[in-house]
Amino acid sequence: MFRSILIANRGEIACRIIATCRRLGVETVAVYSDADARARHVRLADRAVHIGPAPARDSYLSIDRIIQAANDTGAEAIHPGYGFLAENADFARAVREAGITLIGPSPETMDLMGSKAAAKAKMETADVPLIPGYHGDNQSDDKLMAEAERVGFPLMLKAAAGGGGKGMRVVKSRNDFAEALQAARREASGAFGDERMILERYLERPRHIEAQVFADTHGHTVHLFERDCSSQRRHQKIIEEAPAANLDDSIRQNLLAAAVRAAEAVDYVGAGTVEFMVDGGEFFFLEMNTRLQVEHPVTECITGLDLVEWQLRVAAGEKLPLAQNDIRVNGHAMEARIYAEDAEQGFVPSTGTIGQLNLPTGDHVRVDSGVEAGDEVSMHYDPMIAKLIVHDHSRAACLARLNQALAASFVSGPTTNLGFLQALAGSDVFAEARLDTGLLDRDLAAVFEKREPPAEVIAAAAGRWLLEQESASSGRTPWDHCDSWRLGSPATRSLDLEYGNGRHLIEARGESGRYELQLDGDNLTVDLAEVDTDTFRLTANGQSRRLQIHSADEHALEICLDNHRWRLTRHARFEAITDAGGGDGRLVAPMPGKVLEIRTEAGAEVSEGDTLLIMEAMKMELAIKAPIDGQVDQLAVAAGDLVEADAVLLEITSGE
Residues 242 and 336 occupy one common structural domain: yes
**Cis (ω within 30 of 0) for the bond into 154?**
yes
Asked, for residue 580, whether it belongs to a domain, the answer is: no
Looking at residue 579, its pLDDT comes to: 36
242 and 377 share one domain = yes
Evaluate whether 569 touches 504 at the Cβ level (below 8 Å). no
Q: Are the C-beta atoms of 448 and 586 separated by less than 8 Å?
A: no
- Let me know: does 194 contact 258? Beta carbons within 8 Å: no
Average pLDDT rounded to a whole number, residues 542-556: 91
**What pLDDT, on the 0 to 100 scale, is given for residue 234?**
86
Q: Which residue has the higher pLDDT, 500 or 388?
A: 388
- Is residue 575 pLDDT above 60, yes or no? no
Does residue 151 have a pLDDT over 80?
Answer: yes
Calculate the average pLDDT of the chain. 91
Give me the pLDDT at residue 473, please: 60
Instruction: Give the Å distances, CA to CA, from 154 to 157, 199, 200, 207, 264.
Output: 10, 11, 9, 17, 33
pLDDT of the residue at 560 = 97
What is the β-pairing status of strands 620-625 and 605-606? unpaired
Q: Round to whole Å and give the CA distance between 6 and 552.
A: 38
Average pLDDT over residues 136-155: 94
Q: Report pLDDT for 485.
A: 52
Same domain, 27 and 42: yes
How far from chain centre, in Å, is Cα 537? 32
Residues 179 and 264 occupy one common structural domain: no
Would residue 268 count as lying in a domain? yes
Domain match, 16 and 157 both: no
For residue 175, pLDDT over 90 is answered with yes
At residue 609, the pLDDT reads: 80
Does residue 152 share a domain with residue 138?
yes
Segment among 18-32, 318-332, 379-393, 439-453 with least mean pLDDT: 439-453
- pLDDT tens across 335-391, in order? 999 999 999 888 888 989 999 999 998 889 999 999 999 999 988 898 999 999 999
Assigned domain for 576 exists: no
Quick one: 262 and 227 in the same domain?
yes
More confident residue, 363 or 276: 276
Query: What phi and psi, each to the nearest 5 degrees, are found at residue 523?
Result: -95, 135
The number of residues in the chain equals 656
The CATH number of whichever domain residue 362 belongs to comes to: 3.30.470.20
Tell which residue, 387, 379, 295, 377, has the closest CA to residue 340. 377
Beta pairing class for 27-33 and 4-7: parallel
Residue type present at position 558: E
Least confident of 29-38, 170-179, 471-480, 643-652: 471-480
Q: Are residues 504 and 613 in the same domain?
A: no
**% of the chain at pLDDT higher than 70:** 94
Higher pLDDT, 159 or 487: 159
- Shared domain for 431 and 302, answered yes or no, is yes
Domain end, chosen from 396, 416, 446, is at 446
Give 656's pLDDT tier (boundaries 50, 70, 90): low
Over residues 35-49, the mean pLDDT reads 97
Both 367 and 414 in one domain: the answer is yes
Residue 98's CATH number: 3.40.50.20
pLDDT at 574: 42
| C-alpha of 574 from chain center | 39
CATH number for the domain that contains residue 171? 3.30.1490.20
Residue 343 lies in a domain: yes
Q: Is the pLDDT of residue 619 over 70?
A: no
Domain assignment present for residue 116? The answer is no
167: pLDDT strictly greater than 50: yes
- Rounded to whole angstroms, the Cα distance separating 62 from 517 reads 61
Higher local confidence (pLDDT), 622 or 37: 37
Give yes or no: residues 34 and 182 share one domain.
Answer: no
> Alpha carbon of 445 to those of 241, 253, 302, 344: distances in Å?
23, 35, 32, 11
The count of domains in the chain is: 5
Q: What is the pLDDT of residues 626-646, one digit of tens each?
A: 888 889 988 889 888 888 777
For residue 487, is pLDDT > 60?
Answer: no
Does residue 518 sit within a domain? yes
Listed in sequence order, the residues at least 6 apart from 534 whose beta carbon sits closer than 8 Å to its beta carbon are 358, 408, 410, 548, 549, 550, 551
Determine the structural domain holding residue 85 and report its residue range: 4-103
Are the CB atoms for 251 and 341 separated by under 8 Å?
no
Q: Does residue 110 form part of some domain?
A: no
Q: Among 130, 211, 204, 246, which residue's Cα sits nearest to residue 437?
A: 204
Please, which residues have CB within 8 angstroms of residue 175's CB and are 6 or more apart in sequence? Answer: none
pLDDT in tens, 395-416: 999 999 999 999 999 999 999 9
Residue 460 included in any domain: yes
Residue 553 maps to which CATH number? 3.30.700.30
Of the three residues 419, 446, 473, the one that is the final residue of a domain is 446
Strand order in the sheet with 270-279: 282-289, 270-279, 207-215, 221-233, 236-242, 332-339, 384-392, 365-369
Supply the pLDDT for residue 576: 42
Q: Are 213 and 263 in contact (CB under 8 A)?
A: yes
What tens digit of pLDDT does each residue of 116-130 get? 888 989 999 999 999
Average pLDDT for residues 562-586, to the nearest whole number? 66
Co-location of 536 and 607 in the same domain: no
| Per-residue pLDDT at 483 exceeds 80 | no
* Residue with the larger pLDDT of the pair 575 and 593: 593
Bridge partners of 503, per DSSP, are 498
- 621 vs 604, residue with greater confidence: 604
Q: Is the pLDDT of residue 109 over 60?
A: yes
Q: Could you please report the per-residue DSSP string of 87-105?
A: T-HHHHHHHHHTT-EESS-
Element (H, E) at 255: helix 249-265
pLDDT at 582 (0 to 100): 41
Q: b/e map of 457-489 (b: 16 or more CB within 10 Å)?
A: bbbbbbbbbbbebbeeeeeeeeeeeebbeeeee
> Of 446, 472, 507, which marks where a domain is finished?
446
Q: Which residues pair with 276 in a beta bridge?
A: 209, 285
Report the range of poorest mean pLDDT among 326-330, 459-463, 471-475.
Answer: 471-475
- Per the CB < 8 A criterion, the answer to whether 471 and 423 are in contact is no
Burial of 173 (0-12, 13-18, 19+ CB in 10 A): exposed
Mean pLDDT of all residues in 322-337: 98
